[in-house]
Amino acid sequence: MIRKLAIIGVGLIGGSLARALRAAGEVERVVGCGRGEANLKRGVELGVIDSYTHDVGEAVSGADMVFVAVPLGAMRGVFADMNGYLSADAVITDGGSAKGSVINDFYAVCSDHTTQFVPGHPIAGTEHNGVEASFAELYRNRRVIITPTAASSDEAVKRVTHMWKACGAEVVEMAVEHHDRVLAATSHLPHMLAFGLVDALARMEEHEEIFRYAAGGFRDFTRIASSNPTMWRDICISNGAALSRMITSFADELHALAESVERGDGERLLEIFQRAKDARDAYVDGLQ
């Protein structure tokens, strides 16, 4: 049982964690912290949080679990603000999509609490933002990756693992560098493709007609381009090395595909399409 859960960033990710833990009977009190007054008030009205503050130090004081769900660019500031206010028994974790930068930020400003820190990343979300978008089932049957550091205590890892399992998630451990490479390929690159495609089409002279006649496939593929631009800017910068390599590699693949189309190489196109279909059927749909 978590006595006091402090959520820094009460949006879809943080709000859904609070809802899930409440539904599971795993938390006594939830304090939210953020900048948006209206969003925090709405969180209280919806019963997602019990109270709120704009002060990070006040939020984490006396908390035995702290969850940070802010854009990656804001992580270091949040960690600095909580330093000096954390209880000795507090465990700190996060929901950041790139782990190397989060760990560097924590170690830079919160070095006295490294045994209490267990970086994490729930592989779940929607394109919607704010506490009203949160729901208790977001993490059910989804994966949460934790990337404990060499300093993370066994007890802290155990408590974070238990928290996510109480939400219905499958928890897996992964090395930091491996996490950032995998997520660059499976999450960050697809978002870049969606953002890039929509932006390219929006700048075309006939963009209104293009979007007017967009079919279901276009809507499905580009749905994630409605995600938070600030958050994704921070992800690109924070995981820049791994992501830039993936973009370069995919650009080479796309160039080869364009050449096949230009040559009218039907056999090559069919080979690519069949291999892609087989892979998705086996490794995506087959794993769900």
DSSP three-state, residue 203: coil
pLDDT digits (tens, 9 = 90+) for 16-55: 999 999 999 999 999 999 999 999 999 999 999 999 999 9
CATH 3.40.50.720 maps onto the chain at: 2-174
pLDDT band, very low/low/confident/very high, at 126 (cuts 50, 70, 90) = confident
Q: Which residue has the higher pLDDT, 217 or 115?
A: 115
Fold of the domain spanning 178-287: 6-phosphogluconate dehydrogenase C-terminal fold (1.10.3660)
Residue ranges, CATH 1.10.3660.10, the chain: 178-287
Helix H segments across the chain?
12-23, 37-45, 56-60, 75-82, 99-109, 154-166, 176-183, 189-202, 207-212, 216-222, 229-238, 240-263, 266-283
Q: What is the pLDDT, as a whole number, of residue 128? A: 86
Residue 215 is predicted with a pLDDT of 82
pLDDT of residue 91: 98
* Number of neighbours of residue 144 by Cβ within 10 angstroms: 22
User: What per-residue confidence (pLDDT) applies to 287?
Assistant: 53
Tokens of 169: 């998630």
Instruction: Report the predicted TM-score, pTM, of the whole model to 2 decimal places.
Output: 0.86
Fold of 2-174: Rossmann fold (3.40.50)
